[in-house]
Structure 1
Amino acid sequence: MLMRSLPLNDAAGRDKIVPLRAVATNTRRIESKNLLDGSRELVIEHQGAEYHLRLTRNDKLILTK
């Protein structure tokens, strides 16, 4: 976990340690090739809207609404 020291305004002059970001421990991991299954585009429906996950010519992923 990344940590950063922030100065406090107390008399002791100690620093407070705070996390920069939380690390998810149980995040699902799926290979993009398994999602796309040989195609270059996938449509994801979320709350009534369509999102398009596209594989570019440079093998990058782009998600658009």
Structure 2
Amino acid sequence: MKISARNQISGTIVSITPGAVNGSIKVDIGGGNVVTANITEEAIADLALATGDTVTVLIKASDVLIGK
């Protein structure tokens, strides 16, 4: 499958926190960095995601905000 997102980072799922509608997935991308994604519980089930799985984080955003 081809996709337009150019920011693709491989990593390992370190935790999945279920929610009522969305779950929180934490992915270790190396170097002490962890990316968190909130996706639907349906997507978690459809992808059969589990802690320890190797996944690709795809980032496509029109805005990236930074605060301090």
TM-score in terms of structure 2 length: 0.31
- Whose strand fraction is larger, Structure 1's or Structure 2's? 2
